[in-house]
A and B are shown apart, each in its own frame.
Chain A
């Protein structure tokens, strides 16, 4: 094979352009380092997104596809099933591996829910004996959360919950009608709906316009009013002139020379040619399992178990968030007035974890996300109306056709509200990904196989979600839209990987025999190798990982630059 190699030696090579890679690129490029970033997917700019497209502009009316499971207008190109890039996820309770393949990675996908990990989240084992403590505490990360709040922008409200730390928030959008209706009833039940904390700016910031309330954050924002790396972090990084981005570059192996990382071998996906970049330091931020895969595949005589893996922990302690959802029909919300209620993309209210686990039969909490409202009709609009219109007063059964049915749709639009629980799963050594000895992808790179099993801690938590949602719906005068699955169906818990919060596969720690990287994401075994995505997490609280990936990447990239300034590292 004709391996082409660039003669330039970069200061830093970053693998992945998501939250971790994007932040590392900005910090390093602004510090004056020469940076090259490898992204396995194609180029993307927020301006080329489908913001403000109408459902009827497409013959599919917004339907999802394998490559765009969240709908054809969704910004994120990827999915759980990517052509030519297989994995095995059929062991235990199974594992579904979501991958974004585009510039910005999964920052193009997420719901912009930006919750800080709290003091208890970093010290779980000390609190309840499960999992492990992080080698760092909330106090170590707080200054970085404070900075990204102010530099990237977030709305929310300061509420004073100990383990849901407050921050530097822009004003939150006022709640929609159905959200106020739920909030009012829930307050009487002791369930606190508070303003969401989303990385969407409601005031101009650093030249970015304030949100224009089209409710389509998932399509990517042409005015840069919400966060994704191509929209917010890469422009200033590129403006320094120090960042080179290589797209369609699938990293295959990290190269080692004289005990240090010397560069990265990658496949140019468009020509299938093997190529190489040389760098004085490498930052791995390819997403938790992809980063683990790359390190495990980077075997050499000095690193027979894979790079940075003398401890053998890489791939282990894989975590995902638990999930359970329930919808309710609320007769009070029928016949709503017509006005523009798009708001921001996502719910304006949510429920932080509000109970004391000491009084419960599971150790870790969950938050509640709410859905509903009168959004733009699109594919699947009010499907199976017979399950809904049977609840209209005076009806003995559901279904129908004609003028009455047409009127039913009008009356029922916006009358269902749903709740999704998102809970913490405990980190177990026995949940893992590893190299599949029988598999390669279309580029010849060995693939992953997974093993994952939920424990009673997760099942009991999801059972509690069921009870909470049932109470919320029935006590507020609603009707649950389906039967809650029983114990034999695992209480309807999502399959591991479906909530797309996988973390933990290259865990940090102070003991090199039990962890792969140190407090700064720096490999114990190789000083010029860093990991800056969710792989380093010791626990995965119920909170979406992105804000913490950003905070840690900011902290760790500054450490990397500091080390290089002091000499020695670069």
Chain B
């Protein structure tokens, strides 16, 4: 089956299925039956979420910063672009709205707020002490020198451990934010989420894996 959007897909698939939807889209009101029946066509906390994009759209495109201050947000922007930069295949983390994603998710993931905020401060203090300025003001070579100390957990020296934990947190959120975006999914080759007929892996792939 060729690619179609969700609305078309649902419409197409509804043909030839039983009319259960019609039966289940509403129950009688309490007044009609003498019972306290309540009609819920959708569950709490689902779909009506105003932050949700329409089918096929991307949420957070126009997100207004809430968690970070301006300097923190700029630091995150630079960090995520170093973690996942643009290359010949796809755009950068920023192109995929990762800074917005992290700002949003920090408003909900309260357990990570202290490490995120404290880590950013730790980064600036350490950069100022060791390289002479805030992370965002440093030349790329110094930024990379700082990141090299944090990006390899087994190699990080004990004094850098808070920074290493912070960096891993940012890398994890960057990974989610980038690869679960439209750009990221195209890049990594996820081409599902459409109705189709599964006939198995292509022969060439089975051959490559020694499975023929």
**Which A residues fall within an 8 A CB radius of B?**
6-8, 36, 42-48, 50-63, 65, 67-68, 72, 77, 102, 173-177, 180-181, 184, 204, 206-209, 212-216, 222-224, 230-231, 234-235, 238-239, 244-249, 268, 270-271, 273, 275, 277, 332-333, 336-344, 374-386, 390, 397-403, 405-406, 409-410, 413
List, in ascending order, chain A residues with CB within 8 A of B31's CB: none
A409–B200 contact, CB under 8 A?
A: no
List, in ascending order, chain A residues with CB within 8 A of B101's CB: 59, 61
Give the interface centre of B1, B54, B83, B152 by most chain A CB atoms within 10 Å.
B152
List, in ascending order, chain A residues with CB within 8 A of B104's CB: 59
Give bound CA distance, A401 to B206, whole Å: 32
**Which B residues fall within an 8 A CB radius of A?**
1, 6, 9-10, 13-14, 16-18, 20-21, 23-25, 27-28, 33-47, 49, 51-60, 63, 82-85, 87, 101, 104-105, 108, 147, 151-155, 168, 171-172, 175-177, 179-182, 184-185, 187-202, 204-206, 208-209, 211
Chain B residue nearest to A248 (CB atoms) is B38
Give bound CA distance, A532 to B27, whole Å: 24
A180–B206 contact, CB under 8 A?
A: yes
A204–B180 contact, CB under 8 A?
A: no
B193–A342 contact, CB under 8 A?
A: yes
B168 to chain A, nearest CB (A): 7
A56–B53 contact, CB under 8 A?
A: yes
B18–A208 contact, CB under 8 A?
A: yes
B13–A209 contact, CB under 8 A?
A: yes
B206–A385 contact, CB under 8 A?
A: no
Give bound CA distance, A337 to B147, whole Å: 32
**Other-chain contact of A56, B59, B83, B87 (Cβ < 8 Å):** B59
Give bound CA distance, A8 to B35, whole Å: 11
Give bound CA distance, A338 to B44, whole Å: 37
Q: Which 8 A-B pairs have the closest CB atoms?
A: A338-B189, A207-B18, A42-B40, A212-B195, A268-B36, A235-B20, A43-B40, A342-B192
Give bound CA distance, A403 to B87, whole Å: 7
List, in ascending order, chain A residues with CB within 8 A of B87's CB: 403, 406
A59–B41 contact, CB under 8 A?
A: no
Give bound CA distance, A247 to B42, whole Å: 13
Q: Report if A43-B55 is in contact (Cβ < 8 Å); known contacts: A213-B198, A383-B172, A409-B188.
A: no
List, in ascending order, chain A residues with CB within 8 A of B85's CB: 402-403, 406
List, in ascending order, chain A residues with CB within 8 A of B34's CB: 6-8
**Other-chain contact of B58, A56, A208, A381 (Cβ < 8 Å):** A56
Give bound CA distance, A376 to B154, whole Å: 30
List, in ascending order, chain B residues with CB within 8 A of A43's CB: 27, 38-41
List, in ascending order, chain B residues with CB within 8 A of A336's CB: 205
A409–B179 contact, CB under 8 A?
A: yes
B37–A245 contact, CB under 8 A?
A: yes
Give bound CA distance, A388 to B206, whole Å: 24
Give bound CA distance, A230 to B25, whole Å: 11
List, in ascending order, chain B residues with CB within 8 A of A402's CB: 82-83, 85
Give bound CA distance, A381 to B52, whole Å: 20
Q: Report if A275-B41 is in contact (Cβ < 8 Å); known contacts: A53-B6, A381-B176, A398-B153.
A: no
In addition to A58-B59, A401-B147, A410-B189, 9 A-B residue pairs with Cβ atoms within 8 Å of each other are A57-B53, A72-B45, A176-B200, A212-B1, A247-B40, A337-B202, A339-B202, A400-B152, A402-B83
A58–B51 contact, CB under 8 A?
A: yes
List, in ascending order, chain A residues with CB within 8 A of B40's CB: 42-44, 247-248
Q: Report if A57-B83 is in contact (Cβ < 8 Å); known contacts: A52-B9, A77-B44.
A: no
List, in ascending order, chain A residues with CB within 8 A of B177's CB: 61
Give bound CA distance, A403 to B81, whole Å: 10
Give bound CA distance, A102 to B63, whole Å: 32
**Other-chain contact of B205, A277, A339, A413 (Cβ < 8 Å):** A339
Chain A residue nearest to B15 (CB atoms) is A209
Interface CB pairs A-B, < 8 A, 21:
A6-B35, A36-B35, A43-B27, A59-B105, A72-B45, A174-B200, A177-B206, A207-B18, A209-B13, A213-B197, A224-B18, A235-B24, A246-B33, A249-B36, A337-B202, A337-B205, A376-B190, A384-B172, A399-B153, A399-B154, A410-B189
Chain B residue nearest to A177 (CB atoms) is B201
Give bound CA distance, A67 to B43, whole Å: 11
Give bound CA distance, A294 to B111, whole Å: 37
**Other-chain contact of A273, B36, B52, B168, B191 (Cβ < 8 Å):** B36
